[in-house]
Amino acid sequence: MALFYHFPLCPQSRFIRLVMSELAMEAEMMSENIHDRRRGFLEINPAATLPVLVEQDGPAICGAGVIAEYLDETRGLVLGERRLLPENPAARAEVRRLLDWFNLKCQEEVSGLLLHEKVYKRLLPVNQGGGAPDPGILRVARSNIRYHLKYIGYLAARRNWLAGEQLSYADLAAAAHLSTADYLGDVPWDEDETAKTWYARIKSRPSFRILLNERMRGLPPGAHYADLDF
């Protein structure tokens, strides 16, 4: 069985977990706090980043985008017309564009900031940057998320799914980043009904159930996190 190194609220890890669930792929989950810089993990991925997939007797595949491409190449065909990275070159380009939007831009402007300030700083000693969240950084993240939510609403209003007619990696990546922010209670859902309706469709998929049922010790989710009718 494959090993999957992740952190429960890491949005890029959540993206790949959603992909694996859509593919009905089983893996042993290995929770990893990258700030521990554990020697065994650094030997697998010297960059000390998540997520990492290690196939049985295979090499370590590091990074959400690389893992997504790998899973499409090795398992994507089983989905047929429901393939998460479409065959058409133009459609693939649009999915990849949106993957960069969420896994890079949204990570940098929203989800990564919230995760570091509200979660990782709780796990770090003060001499390594731990402590209370920085209110200024939280204000920036909460301001930025409105822009991303509006863009999701814009796409969802013009397409069946974010990148086109079919569910794709773009939807799963966007939902993963929003799910982290939603767990932390930082998504202003009342500001964009179209984005909220799109998220409800994703949230209702069987692949999402495992994320909705998970809890971090000492850090309960926002009030409506697991509510499908929110």
The CATH homologous superfamily for domain 2-82 is Glutaredoxin (3.40.30.10)
Whose CA is closest to 161, among 209, 197, 204? 197
- Mean pLDDT, rounded, of the chain: 96
Sequence-separated (6 or more) residues with CB below 8 Å from residue 17:
4, 6, 176, 210, 211
Distances (CA, A) of 190 to 138, 150, 227: 19, 11, 15
Name 137's Cβ contacts closer than 8 Å, sequence gap at least 6. Answer: 113, 117
Cα–Cα nearest to 179, from 97, 115, 94, 85: 115
The angle formed by the CA atoms of residues 136, 221 and 200, to the nearest 5 degrees, is 100
- Going from N- to C-terminal start, the domains of the chain cover 2-82, 89-206
Q: What are phi and psi of 128, to 5 degrees?
A: -115, 15
Q: Is the pLDDT of residue 125 over 90?
A: no
Span 59-102, pLDDT tens digits: 999 999 999 999 999 998 887 888 999 999 999 999 999 999 99
- Per residue in 109-118, pLDDT (tens digit) is 999 999 999 9
Please identify, in words, the CATH class of the domain defined by 89-206.
mainly alpha
| 82, two tokens | 């429901």
d(CA 101, CA 11): 13
Residue 119: pLDDT band with limits 50, 70, 90: very high
